A and B are shown apart, each in its own frame.
Chain A
Amino acid sequence: MTAENGTAKGQAAPTVRARSLAWRRRRDSAARFWRQYRGHRAGVFGLAALLLFAVPALAAPLLVGSDVADVTDAPGGPLEDPSARFPFGTDRFGRNLLGLVIWGARVSLLVGLLAAVLSVAIGTLIGVTAGHFKGWYATVVMRITDWFLVMPTLVLAIALATVMPRSLLTIVVAIGVTTWPTTARLVRAQTLAVETRPYIERARALGGGHRHIMARHVLPNVMPLVLAQTTLIISSAILAEATLAFLGLGDPTVVSWGALLQDAREAGAVSSGHWWYLVPPGVAIAVVALAFTLCGRAVEQVLNPRLGVSR
């Protein structure tokens, strides 16, 4: 764990307050993290690709305007070839496909991030509590986790999305509540390792309660793992969002990459050979998913070098 072995030594002047010491320690470990992260070429590549997509997505209202998804007032004819005016051509309603891909990034990234956060939050809560409280609680919870682990995740997510009302929240929940078991297992394993350390025993001897030990001692130590796991899960969450939208389970009024591909398929872009309608959204999904995977692997290598067998 990086936070404990910071550079701040005990001989710091007594006038320096504990809070500023803690902040300096955090700054130092962040800088150290970044120095090591820079050494992973694939990770840097992934980060660059993410920025390439995140910046236009954030600036989309300025770049393309919020009326880009408007069906009634489309600027071009349906299914136009790529041209100077429409670099990716137009979709079946005559909308600018480049604008739609940029606009769709907002939804795809947002849903991916939220679903991953939800999934990792559930996984961490279950993992830490199952590792901390042994006995019947852990047994029952880990049984449930194992059961979820063998369930086909996407089938479960599809089933959930079918029975809940069509909205972005539904997609987030459907992905979040079906992908947490791997995180729960990882976090539990790490919690069990942390719980054997002497400082946990010290905290308990000094009268620390369960909540104190889990929140102040265990959680900070599993955070690096959780961070890496979040990055990796975002990538599968983005893929899952695209899949659900493609199957027509998303919010029909929202433009996302998966929904664009569903539009393309319904418009017959496949059999009529309108390949430019298909390529941009799919490439966007693949690049962003790959970028998050590469970042996650690099983060994991930096924070948990033991797993880096090949280096």
Chain B
Amino acid sequence: MTADAASAPVEKQGAAGPVTDGPAAPRGPRVRTTAAYLRYVAGKLAGAAVSLLAVLVTSFFLFRLIPGDPVRFMTGGRQVSAEQLANYREQFGLDLPWWQQFTDYCGKALTGDLGTSYQFNAPVIDKIAEALPNTLLLTGTAFVIYTLLGVFLGTRSAWRHGRLGDRLHTGLALTLYSVPSFWLGLLLIVTLAVGIGPLPGLFPTGGMESGGEEGFAYVLDVAHHLVLPVVTLVAVEYGQTLLVTRSALLDEMGSDYLTTARAKGLRDDLVRRRHAVPNALLPTVTLIFINLGRTVAGVILVETVLSWPGLGGLFYQALSVPDLPLVQGLFFVFAAAVIVMNTLADLIYPLLDPRVGR
């Protein structure tokens, strides 16, 4: 394993992020005005709104590509009379011309109505609202852990690049990056939940609570159920953060301002923490948020495999029918979540780096 992580696939997206124009950030007084920042914010928000609208349009037309009749899907091959079919069409508004369906869809979506699930016969938005907190708990925990772990290990790897530790960490990160998340989840269930050989089942799987617990015991119980999904998600995602941080820091390594800092007589880890890492973190932040799309994919699979009752598990249930309004609604939610997170990153960025957004 050579230590050459400068260009893993994930880091390619660097071109999309704001470009830092030179390593030595001038730490002078901030000349940026509030008005300029507000203008920047307005631009970013407008861009996000356009993206969200585009997602809405896509989600409408994508699910009308279906060859054949959505009503046939709904009835799942059962024998139904022509009258019932017409009824269904009317109920789901499928008898209207497409442009009217589209304006209806957009209008309803703006008021939070994403249609009715065929499968559960309940409003899509209710099913989503039910599952959302569980997914946020899982994703939030995993996101915090893998970001901290990735940044920490990536910094250490870059600072001692080429050494054994760096090679091991880069190799492990690349390997885990290549492992399908659902397979890792299945293996973890076999080894840690079912138990293998002398090893007893250590962690529960299936759902997020055993039921019947109250108060603090309930919190502990949920945390116990949370372990396997979080471990799986962290294992498949931290490698990306590690490689991104490592290459960002390697870009800074040769900079003159680090030599200056050392010449001043600063200790090595002070040079790293106070001078190198803050600059390297700037491109890393953007990439971490751009890569959230991959995390969404990971969440879908991990929740499916480990039966976590979140949006991902719901997506799988909807796919296997297929329950189109629910698939459509979840598609919109996943895409919107990534767009919103990216916009947040864009808004935070100028606060971290005074050179952006002036």
Q: Are A290 and B293 interface neighbours, CB within 8 A?
A: no
Q: Which residues of A lie under 8 Å from residue B304 when comparing CB positions?
A: 247
Q: How far is the CA of A264 from the CA of B297 in the complex (A)?
A: 21
Question: Chain A's nearest CB lies how many Å from the CB of B59?
Answer: 8
Q: Chain B: which residue is nearest A290 at the CB level?
A: B178
Q: Are A261 and B183 interface neighbours, CB within 8 A?
A: yes
Stretch at the interface among B89-97, B212-220, B270-278, B332-340: B332-340
Q: A152-B293, A300-B7, A309-B250 are in contact. Are A158 and B319 (CB under 8 A)?
A: yes
Q: Are A150 and B51 interface neighbours, CB within 8 A?
A: yes
Q: Chain B: which residue is nearest A188 at the CB level?
A: B15
Q: Are B7 and A293 interface neighbours, CB within 8 A?
A: no
Residue-wise interface mask of A (154-184) relative to B, using a CB-CB cutoff of 8 A (1 in contact, 0 not): 1110111011110000000000000000100
Q: Chain B: which residue is nearest A229 at the CB level?
A: B12
Q: Are A152 and B62 interface neighbours, CB within 8 A?
A: no
B residues 170-205 near A (Cβ < 8 Å) are 174-175, 177-180, 182-184, 186-187, 189-191, 194-196
Is there a chain B Cβ closer than 8 Å to A289's Cβ? yes
Q: Which residues of A lie under 8 Å from residue B179 when comparing CB positions?
A: 282, 285-286, 289
Stretch at the interface among A16-24, A68-76, A197-205, A233-241: A233-241
Q: Are B178 and A289 interface neighbours, CB within 8 A?
A: yes
Stretch at the interface among B63-71, B114-122, B123-131, B135-143: B63-71
Main secondary structure, interface of B, reads: helix
Main secondary structure, interface of A, reads: helix
Is there a chain A Cβ closer than 8 Å to B13's Cβ? yes
Is there a chain A Cβ closer than 8 Å to B169's Cβ? no
Q: Are B194 and A271 interface neighbours, CB within 8 A?
A: yes
Instruction: Out of B7, B161, B250, name the residue touching A297 (CB < 8 Å).
Output: B7
Q: How far is the CA of A307 from the CA of B247 in the complex (A)?
A: 10
Q: Are A159 and B187 interface neighbours, CB within 8 A?
A: no
Q: How far is the CA of A278 from the CA of B186 in the complex (A)?
A: 8
Is there a chain A Cβ closer than 8 Å to B46's Cβ? no
Is there a chain A Cβ closer than 8 Å to B347's Cβ? no
Is there a chain B Cβ closer than 8 Å to A310's Cβ? yes
Q: Which of A146, A229, A300 has the most CB of B within 10 A?
A: A300
Q: Which of B1, B161, B297, B316 has the most CB of A within 10 A?
A: B297
Instruction: Out of A153, A278, A293, name the residue touching B178 (CB < 8 Å).
Output: A293
Q: Which residues of A lie under 8 Å from residue B320 when comparing CB positions?
A: 248
Q: How far is the CA of A287 from the CA of B183 in the complex (A)?
A: 13
Which residues of A come within 8 Å of B, CB atoms? 40-42, 45, 146-147, 149-156, 158-160, 162-165, 182, 185-186, 189, 229, 232-233, 235-236, 239, 242-243, 246-249, 258, 261, 264-265, 270-273, 275, 278-279, 281-282, 285-287, 289-290, 293-294, 296-297, 300-301, 304, 307-311
